[in-house]
Structure 1
Amino acid sequence: MLESILDHLKEPKNRFVWLRESPGTGKTAISMSVASTVESQGTLAASFFWDKN
């Protein structure tokens, strides 16, 4: 999954990734892995998390 998302983001036209699934399925872990990887590459990125509480 991580490799697929990172490959997707390499294309300039692909600026966003939307992760949507039930609670507890690993969305946050995937997001944190993507953020960590792009940070180590020196890539500018941002992430947003919504909490419905």
Structure 2
Amino acid sequence: MTHLGFVATAYGLGIAVPLAFTLAAVARLRLATRRLAAIDPRQNRRLAHGGGE
């Protein structure tokens, strides 16, 4: 009796689950950045004046 299927599944899940969490976090970060840019007047002013302090 071989356990190769169980081991392969465990390794697959060990890669797939953190990858799914990472992709979800990146998507949420991009959405939050866009939403913040839409409501933050400081962001628009900084870009209009060439950035910097």
TM-score interval (norm. to shorter): 0.3 to 0.5
Higher helix fraction (1 or 2): 2
**Of the two, which has the highest radius of gyration?**
2
Q: Which has the higher contact order (CA 8 A, sep 6+)?
A: 1
TM normalised by structure 2 equals: 0.35
TM-score between the two structures when normalised by the length of structure 1: 0.35
